[in-house]
Structure 1
Amino acid sequence: MPTGQQACFGGGAQTFPHPLSEIEQRVLWLSSAIVHHANRVRPNPSGLKVGGHQASSASMVSIMTSLWFRHLRPQDRVSVKPHASPVLHGINYLLGELDEEWLTTLRAFGGLQSYPSRSKDPDPVDYSTGSVGIGATATIWGALARRYAVPSAEDTFHDQTHEPRGRQYALVGDAELDEGAIWEAVLDPQVAELGELVWIVDLNRQSLDRVVPNIAAGRLQGMFAAAGWQVITLKYGRTLEQLFTRPGGTELRARLDTMPNPEYQRLLRCSASELRHRLPGTTTDAVAIAGLLASLDDDSLIEAVRNLGGHDLTALDGAFAAIDDGRPTVIFAYTVKGRGLPTAGHPQNHSALLTDQQMLALAEQVGVDPGQSWTRFAPDSAAGRLCAERGTQLRRRNPPPAAPPALPTDIGRTPMGVATTQAALGRTLLDLTRAAPEAAARVVTVSPDVSSSTNLGGWVNKVGVWSASERTNWFADDAETILHWHEKPAGQHIELGIAETNLVGLLGELGATWSRWGEPLLPIGVLYDPFVERALEPWSFGIYAGGQSILVGTPSGVTLAPEGGAHQSITTPSIGIEQPGCTTYEPAFAIDTEWTLLAALARLGRPGGESAYLRLSTRPVDQSLARVPTDPAARERRRRQVVAGAYTLRRTASAPTASVTIAAVGAMLTEALAAADRLEQTGVPTDVVCVTSPDLLFRALQARNGQDGADAAGSWILDAVLPASRATPLVTVLDGHPHTLAFLATVNQVPHRALGVTGFGQSGTLDDVYRYHGIDADSIIRAALDLTR
């Protein structure tokens, strides 16, 4: 069991009042009983495993009891490790925040969730967890988001009704530290300034399958310390610390400190006689250790071996009191997985379930009538009074969410000349500062060191870079500096390092400020589209947790021809269709970018709101091809169709009806129009449909087909752009995987050819690359002719 470094806390003369220990035991019972009822009491006709984690919960009982019943304040927020959700529900029940009827619903439909969920659980949950590592890093981005949204009472967004800034606690399983996302977040330079961060690592040294052979606690502690964190090691409880002061105690400490993790874990399964044989070891210190052990009776010896700091309420109190709020803090709390249960320390106890007999024994151990599993403490008892007192103290009076600012639907500009959709992003944000300054003040952009290369430079120059404090811009007087990096608390752009998971983690928390702090923001994250897949899992989890934001992937596709296959995205268009809680757009023209971005912004920061993903391109396109109507009513009709998912860009003029329809997305409209011109010349009348959102068209089709949960109000767009009266064979083409648009053929049950990208790209010119993937004008024409002749 490797020794810790930095500040260490162990025993002391102080003892805790009985009510806290009594509550600790009741929390152990409730967390175990919640899982037991779900698996062994509640009917399960399917026989499918229900699951739950009694051992993982047990290792957190002391830590969470100490935190909630001694140290937590209403302004604090806590992210609870996924497998300790029964502990959280048990505590909320004792605090009066959860009705008894819910305790029997763990993992039942509509009941308590398998892992803590802000949006689905009925009791207070500060952070949704369940994806390893994300719950921990969420507290980092939650702290940054709160500093941005609620920096002070003097800020223009806020008033004095807001509670003071609190700590952001993360209760982290030690196996979560294996996740690279943890260290990407810890190492971001801004994190060292977040003194409200407190992580408590449940160092039980077990993973799902085994005792981890070499958890080098000292190395992990050193990594946190190197990143500027305060490191507190909570290793031994007061019983062991007192033993260490007696003859043979120094030798016993050295033996435990140098013992491999699996050997220590094996001791937890030993009887007293086995401990007297195994624990002294075989070195010259064995005699001294054996002599010390001989002074203990069997029960005391067994308890002493298990007396780690993470289960000692006195030691925990000392650790919490030592937190330095001037920098982030991590507490390494040594624990026993399954502490207090018959499965304690067993290498396969991760998902082990107590039997009925074991639950009866546990009930006797903690003083609970097993026939009255959910009985609260008597109101006039010391424990009952403490629960009621803490319940009142921790009850929050959250301010009602402010209404999001009004957003225009159309700024009124008609782009001319040659432009890209990527450039239109920055242009629209700048226009918004003039057309709707109140809304623009709520916009916050985030990028991983790609601001200038994604056309955010003008926006950054206009609004500045957010920093918790003003920083000197040493290049302000350099005439050759184009991007002005003015860092200040009023800045509206947040720059992170090159770590996409950090970006989307922050994006999710910025998108949750409307529900968490009552302050709606309009967050936009910008990254290279090929890296959307890397960022997708934490962004998706942020959406699940209620974060509403816009993710912009740019530049995208094989249209990045000279960049080669390493920087060409293929599957991202279909990801946009598949991601719940998100609308995806891939505009073809600058005006489409403006309209879809404004529509996406209008869905943020509100109940029932939705995130969005915009896939943009660096391909220069002649904006006159958009044929934006000049009549106001016709322009508004076009805008509505753009936002709904598609519009007819060209109807054939050579015949009453077309012989073929080309439906294209984004950068491929240029090829689609060129192919249509040539098809018309060969006597094939052709319609061209510009698809701005395959996602919304698929939803419209589902609604028209009567699929459950689909919004029938959106199905009108299909009749507008693909009416049955003009049903023709269909060619679909996009700079991405062709299956993204394949469903369009089912709108009118027509013959179809799907063109797109199905292999890794090549470097070359646009013509070379488009030809290679079969998405050039020639390929479109061949597909159309195959369908019509």
Structure 2
Amino acid sequence: MTSGQPSGPDAAIADDRLAVLTEVEKRVLWLSTAIIDHANRVRPNPTGLKVGGHQASSASMVTIMTALWFEHLRAQDRVSVKPHASPVLHAVNYLLGELDERYLTTLREFGGLQSYPSRSKDPDPVDYSTGSVGIGATAPIWGALARRYVDSKGGGAGTGRQYSLVGDAELDEGACWEAILDPMVAELGEVVWIVDLNRQSLDRVVPNIGAFRIQGMFEAAGWQVLTVKYGRLLHELFERPGGDALRRRIDDMPNPEYQRLLRCTPAQLRERLPDSPELQGLVDALDDDTLLAAIRNLGGHDLQAVGDAFRAIDDTRPTVILAYTVKGHGLATAGHPQNHSSLLTADQLGELAASVGTSVDDPWARFADDSAAAELCRETATRLHRAPVPALPTVDVPTDIGRTPSGKATTQAALGRTLLDLTRSAPEAAARVVTLCPDVSSSTNLGGWVNKVGVWSADERRDWFDDDPETILHWRERPTGQHLELGIAEGNLVGLLGELGATWSRWGQPLLPIGVLYDPFVERALEPWSFGIYAGGQSILVGTPSGVSLAPEGGAHQSVTTPSVGLEQPGCTTYEPAFAIDVEWTLLASLARLGRPGGTSAYLRLSTRPIDQTLAAVPTDPAARERRRTQVVAGAYPLRRAPGKPDVTIAAMGAIVPEALAAADRLAEQGIAADVVCVTSPGLLFDAVQARAGHGDADTWVLDAAFPAHRAAPLVTILDGHPHTLAFLAGINQVRATHLGVSRFGQSGDLESVYRHHGIDADAVVTAALDVTD
């Protein structure tokens, strides 16, 4: 739990302080607008390609961000900024001395300021990468959980609020509500969302934004709801005769009518606004400037009102501040329904410069050193200065635990077995492992691990079934636990996975996070997981069970394209091991790549099909075993070599390897010699192929080990997934090839029938080999 928000006097901001804040607010508005203008109108653009930027979306956030950064934020706090307000963040960082002036002209330029805030690519401080709607908004929730988890394991993560600056249209994303409704979130008092309620989307004014409905949904989830609707001027007018009628008129009018009033002249306002004699009297008593200012005087643009909301935050539960704003506030385009990507004209930009006290000719001028505004910037920069992230501790992950599985086993079960073995062989590394599931711990064979390490909770909770002899999975919740289970919402799972995978860069405390979910739902979780990788979160995602090998589950639960997803995902190494020992070796190698600069994530695709482990033919000689291990981790290994030169090579992956071996035996009976290569990582093999052609710097030795040129032969590839995943292997030695896999929706049935239906059984391999060698 965080402590209360420290600040100066609890009373309203003093007038002199408010005047300085207003001066900074105007400069932030100017800088954010000018950054976008320069990118689109000043910087040379020989291709004519649209650069883009969002002056109006930035303008609606200027007051909120000025109040937050220059009055309330602390060094230990973290902020996720809505994507289209990235120029405001850069403007703030520039005023605080955190961004060199040369970058102000590089918005969306190669090597410059990114389109949206990026932790890994922007040159100035960014707490959370945003850009994919809903994901950046929810990231601070998972950041809060990750901080609490790290802190429960010995401290070092400190305290601090986790702010999300959210556009109202972003609340349309289901990811937001999935996160808000998770039971753990109601306990996160450090989470604060500020909703930019400008009631506009990309193309239009939203007819009914449903603010009261949104408020009710947050309240039902246990959040504190603070509404900042009106500024000081309107509150003063509400106290005058006719004020109640004015409030009622604004409250009752639909959003489009209100937005239209923002575009009206004083004369038009006097005609359109009154709907009663009382309101007519009030309007008649106002001069034109006051009338124009009043209709725009929403709380989200009132530094005092926004500050009051920040001071009212209750740190015992999550808080949402609904801040009513005008999209484009302070700009000539304010309130226009098509202002989302519009740019001020040169004349309008000049008028803006004059109104805020700066110059188009010197757009990046700082405040005079002896000014109160400059002093506020220096004071804020000192307050927000963060100590460097401490040096990372060494996490030694073994490469081989030493067991050689026998009998029949599944790769899914091998995951839990390896984690348990790790607690005994490398307890310090095992202590940094944290596993996550969306309510599938027992069905994905993590039960033994969960029983061993317990379930994480900020506070210890009683296990009411600890004395029930029929309970197999023990749900012991305590701060020492290492397993977290979220509801059935894969987006939440990978959102938290990404933030747990970023603790090494935030607090110098590396974790080894593993998320386990049904493989058919990997694609559902792919966008937020991919975005987490982009933001620097290093983690392992395990999809299990996978493919049509879970035959009784039917077509709806048979993943087809996930092998190629792993092949194509940047920043990720994908493995689909065939044997239990392959799971151990690839999992350990993946863990060793986490939690460090230059580290990478991993995706393991596992199966529930029991396979005879003696088929792996693991060498008994230590040197030969290590050679096999390095090949497994590198992407492929020769599982069987035919005597002499082969007539055909069968490259198989995952659960289908037994069919490949059976087919090789049958081909041998017909006098056709077959090599069998077990592919463990198509992604690593593809990288090696590219590097051999001069594209990239991956190791290429694995190609010579698995597919040596002197054994080049026609090729058959097979996997329980889309056949194109391994089709590129034919290019290694430029051989004839045919590719077997699954490219149709499946159906329920026994394994033999389903494999035959999709043409991935031993008969299909034999036929393909005969065709390709004919």
TM-score range, shorter chain: over 0.9
Distance 2:394 2:206 in 1: 49
Residue 322 of structure 1, CA deviation: 0.3
> 1:418 aligned to 2:404?
no
Helix, strand or coil for the counterpart of 1:103?
Answer: helix
Q: State the match for 2:686 in structure 1.
A: 698
1:376 to 336, 358, 366: 366
Letter in 1 for 2:111: G
Q: Is it true that 1:585 corresponds to 2:548 in the alignment?
A: no
Residue 697 (structure 2) aligns with = 711
1:404 deviates by 4.0
Contact 2:157 2:507 in 1 (8 A): no
8 Å Cα contact 2:64-2:300 kept in structure 1: yes
- Cα distance in 2 for partners of 1:456, 1:663 equals 30
Aligned position for 2:749: 764
Contact 1:650 1:688 in 2 (8 A): yes
Instruction: Output aligned runs, 1:213-362, within 5 Å.
Output: 213-281=207-275, 286-362=276-352
Deviations 1:254-283 (A, max 9, x none): 0100110000000000000100110113xx
**4+ residue runs over 6 A deviation:** 11-14
- 1:668 maps to what in 2? 656
Structure 1 pair 13–727 and aligned structure 2 pair: CA distance change class (3 A)? closer
User: Could you tell me which residue of structure 1 aligns to residue 8 of structure 2?
Assistant: none
8 Å contact from structure 2 (residues 231, 297) kept in 1: yes
Aligned position for 1:595 = 585
User: Offset of 1:711 from its aligned partner?
Assistant: 1.8
Preserved contact between residue 401 and residue 515 of structure 1 (Cα < 8 Å): no
What is the aligned partner in structure 1 of residue 7 from structure 2?
none
In the TM superposition, 1:385-534 aligns within 5 A as 385-534=375-524
SS in 1 for 2:450: helix
DSSP 3-state at the match of 2:642:
coil
- Once the two structures are superposed, residues 478-510 of structure 1 have per-residue CA deviations (whole angstroms, 9 ceiling, x without a partner) of 000000000001100000000000000000000
- The separation in 2 between residues aligned to 1:370 and 1:730, in whole angstroms, is 66
Residue 116 (structure 2) pairs with residue 130 (structure 1): no
Task: State the one-letter code of the partner of 2:772.
Answer: L
Structure 2 residue aligned with 1:779, among 744, 760, 764?
A: 764
1:8 aligns with none
CA shift for structure 1 position 150: 2.1
Among all aligned residue pairs of Structure 1 and Structure 2, give the percentage whose two residues are the same amino acid: 75
- Does the 8 A contact of 2:653 with 2:678 survive in 1? yes
Partner amino acid, structure 1, of 2:76: Q
2:190 maps to 1:190? no
Take 2:615 and 2:12, find their aligned partners in 1: how far apart are those partners?
Answer: 78
Aligned to 1:741: 726
Asked if structure 2 preserves the Cα contact closer than 8 Å seen for 1:403 and 1:606, the reply is no
Alignment partners' CA distance in 1, 2:303 and 2:262: 20
The separation in 2 between residues aligned to 1:318 and 1:442, in whole angstroms, is: 41
The equivalent residue for 1:682 is 670
SS at match of 2:403: coil
CA contact (8 A) 1:404 1:605 kept: no
Shift of 1:13: 9.6
Name the SS of the counterpart of 2:700 in structure 1.
helix
Aligned equivalent of 2:597, options 584, 593, 607: 607
Backbone CA RMSD of aligned residues: 1.0
Q: Give the unaligned 5+ runs of structure 1.
A: 1-10
Superimposed CA distance per residue, residues 132-180 of structure 1 (whole angstroms, 9 cap, x where no aligned partner): 01111001000000100123xxx44x4xxx4630000000000000000
CA contact (8 A) 1:14 1:314 kept: no
Judging changes above 3 Å, is the alpha-carbon distance between structure 1 residues 527 and 163 closer, same or farther for their aligned structure 2 residues?
Answer: closer
Alignment of 1:61-210 (within 5 A): 61-151=62-152, 155-156=153-154, 158=155, 162=156, 164-210=158-204
8 Å Cα contact 2:106/2:113 also seen in 1: yes
**Structure 1 residues 667-697: Cα deviation after superposition (integer angstroms, max 9, x where no partner):** 0001000000000001100100000000100
SS in 1 for 2:677: strand
Change in CA separation of 1:673 and 1:739 when aligned onto 2, cut-off 3 Å: same
C-alpha separation between the residues in 1 aligned to 2:654 and 2:583? 10
Aligned to 2:558: 568
Q: Is the 8 A contact 1:442 1:521 kept in 2?
A: yes
Task: Work out whether residues 53 and 341 of structure 2, in 8 Å CA contact, stay in contact via their aligned partners in 1.
Answer: yes
- Measure the CA separation in 1 of the matches of 2:130 and 2:12: 35
- Report if the CA contact (8 A) 2:166-2:196 is conserved: yes
Question: 1:401·1:514 contact (CA, 8 Å) conserved in 2?
Answer: no
Q: CA offset at residue 295 of structure 1? A: 1.2
Partner of 2:54: 53
Matched, 1:752 2:753: no
Paired amino acid for 1:673? L
Partner amino acid, structure 2, of 1:375: A
User: Partners in 1 of 2:131 and 2:142 — Cα distance?
Assistant: 17
Cα distance in 1 for partners of 2:369, 2:477 equals 54
Q: Secondary structure at the match of 2:650?
A: strand
2:708 maps to 1:723:
yes
Name the amino acid aligned to 2:648: V
Match of 1:5 in 2: none
Does structure 1 conserve the Cα–Cα contact (< 8 Å) formed by 2:545 and 2:607? Answer: yes
Cα distance change of structure 1 residues 768 and 737 upon mapping to structure 2, 3 Å threshold: same
> Within 2, Cα distance between the matches of 1:545 and 1:745?
35
Deviation at 1:357, TM superposition (A): 1.1
Q: How many residues align?
A: 763
CA distance in 2, matches of 1:442, 1:725: 45
SS of 1:629 mapped into structure 2: coil
Residue 84 of structure 2 aligns to a residue whose secondary structure is helix
C-alpha distance after superposition, 1:25-52 (max 9, x if no partner):
0000000000000000000000000000
- Matches of 1:456 and 1:163, distance apart in 2: 28
Does 1:212 pair with 2:206? yes
* C-alpha separation in 1, matches of 2:176 and 2:359: 42
> Any idea what the Cα deviations from partners look like across 1:714-767, whole Å, max 9, x if unmatched?
110001110110000000000000000000000000000000000000111111
Amino acid at match of 1:731: V
1:561–1:763 contact (8 Å) kept in structure 2: yes
Deviations 1:554-585 (A, max 9, x none): 00000011111011000000000100000000
- Normalization by structure 1: what TM-score? 0.96
Q: CA deviation at 1:14?
A: 6.2
Work out whether residues 74 and 393 of structure 1, in 8 Å CA contact, stay in contact via their aligned partners in 2.
yes
Q: Check conservation: 1:737, 1:757, Cα contact below 8 A.
A: yes
The structural deviation recorded for 1:399 is: 2.9
Distance 2:357 2:494 in 1: 47
Q: Which amino acid aligns with 2:278?
A: A
- Cα distance, 1:403 vs structure 2: 2.6
What CA deviation, in whole Å up to 9, does each residue of 1:379-437 have, x standing for no partner?
Answer: 11000000011011101103324234101000000000000000000000000000000
| Equivalence for 2:5 | none
